[in-house]
Amino acid sequence: MNEKDGAAQHVPVLLDRILALFAPALADHPSILVDATLGLGGHADALLSAHPDLTLVGLDRDPQALDASRRRLARHGDRVHLVHAVYDEMPEVLGRLGMSTVDGVLFDLGVSSLQLDRAERGFAYAKDAPLDMRMDPTAGKTAADVLNTYPVKDLARILREYGEERFAGKIARAVAAERDREPFTSSARLVQLLYKTVPAATRRTGGHPAKRTFQALRIEVNGELDVLAAALPAALAALHAGGRIVVESYQSLEDRLVKRSFAELAKSRTPEGLPVELPGHGPQLRLLTRGAEQADEEEVARNPRAASVRLRAAERIGEAA
């Protein structure tokens, strides 16, 4: 499948809900939205089509995704600014473009369809491939580097914290023993080791034995949680009053970070017991979702990648920080 075909077949998750959430912030006036995780451009294309006065800034660390989106979004002309950047670089990107505040920010986190569908990128444990897992294949350490060079205690910590893997220590020790014999290069060999290491009872009830380890390696390779922790405050600070942020997460660690970031700014900072809100101490966000929203059964049947999505959204109230 080439990138053009991938863009055409890509099904954006919760697209109608995202269009509805952003509509009040983007309608009937010139507006700016940052798509912080552009991917194959499905959400971006729909938002640009729905709002003729919208300017979109699309960020992605993956040059292949940017190339595919550039072709897909070409019909929108100079309303589109695509930038090769990780989303925690948003303040610098906006500064270079002369944009101080924006009307919307969208995060669609996790692995893109392009990355999952291209076996050579090494994200999918169902296909044998080089152990890469870099979202930007031009820079940084690979999953093989992590497996072959990290001390056992660090490897166990990553598997436990980022993969929520019960057998982190056991897997880390097995990896160390195996890499002493021969360094890891392919996903099939790692999957084979995990089948041997994860107890059979867990394999029968806990899903694919490689799922948690692959998630942990991917998060470590790409610094995903550290990047998100830095990017969320920057995105919220960039919103002007009435601006909206929508975040789609696909695993609990990401969703927890988003939940905490939103909750912190949605509460009053006036000390308890005072009869009035202190100036400048009121909530800075209004939550637009009750908890995290999920895709319904119909969407999941149509697009299985929507099964794990958790969507949260909020609106800036008052002045941007």
| CATH for the 3-114+224-316 domain, from 3.40.605.10, 3.40.50.1360, 1.10.600.10, 3.40.50.150 | 3.40.50.150
Mark the binding-site residues for S-adenosyl-L-methionine, compressed into ranges. Answer: 41-43, 60, 87, 108, 115
Mark the binding-site residues, compressed into ranges. Answer: 41-43, 60, 87, 108, 115
Q: What is the pLDDT of residues 91-110, one digit of tens each?
A: 999 999 999 899 999 999 98
Buried b (16+ CB within 10 A) or exposed e, 49-70: eebeebbbbbbbbbebbbbbbe
Report CA Rg, the chain. Answer: 21
Q: Where in the chain is the domain with CATH 1.10.150.170?
A: 120-221
Q: What is the pLDDT of residues 106-139, one digit of tens each?
A: 999 987 665 565 655 656 677 788 999 998 888 8
- The tokens for 317 are 């109230």
Whether the per-residue pLDDT at 206 is higher than 70: the answer is no
Asked whether the beta carbons of 31 and 51 are under 8 A apart, the reply is: yes
Whether the per-residue pLDDT at 80 is higher than 90: the answer is yes
| CATH for the 120-221 domain, from 2.60.120.260, 3.40.50.2300, 1.25.40.20, 1.10.150.170 | 1.10.150.170
Asked whether the beta carbons of 123 and 218 are under 8 A apart, the reply is: yes
pLDDT at 4: 46
Q: What is the pLDDT of residues 11-33, one digit of tens each?
A: 899 999 999 999 999 998 999 99
Mean pLDDT to the nearest integer, 256-279: 79
Q: Where in the chain is the domain with CATH 3.40.50.150?
A: 3-114+224-316
pLDDT at 321: 43
Cα distance between residue 76 and residue 87, in whole Å: 22
pLDDT at 10: 65
Tell me the C-alpha to C-alpha distance, in Å, between residue 3 and each of 33, 116, 312: 24, 12, 29
Residue type at position 139: A
* Highest mean pLDDT: which range of 1-15, 45-59, 270-284: 45-59
Whether the per-residue pLDDT at 8 is higher than 80: the answer is no
pLDDT at 190: 94
Least Cα distance to 26 among 108, 101, 104 occurs for: 104
Q: What is the pTM of this model?
A: 0.88
Cα distance between residue 108 and residue 305, in whole Å: 12
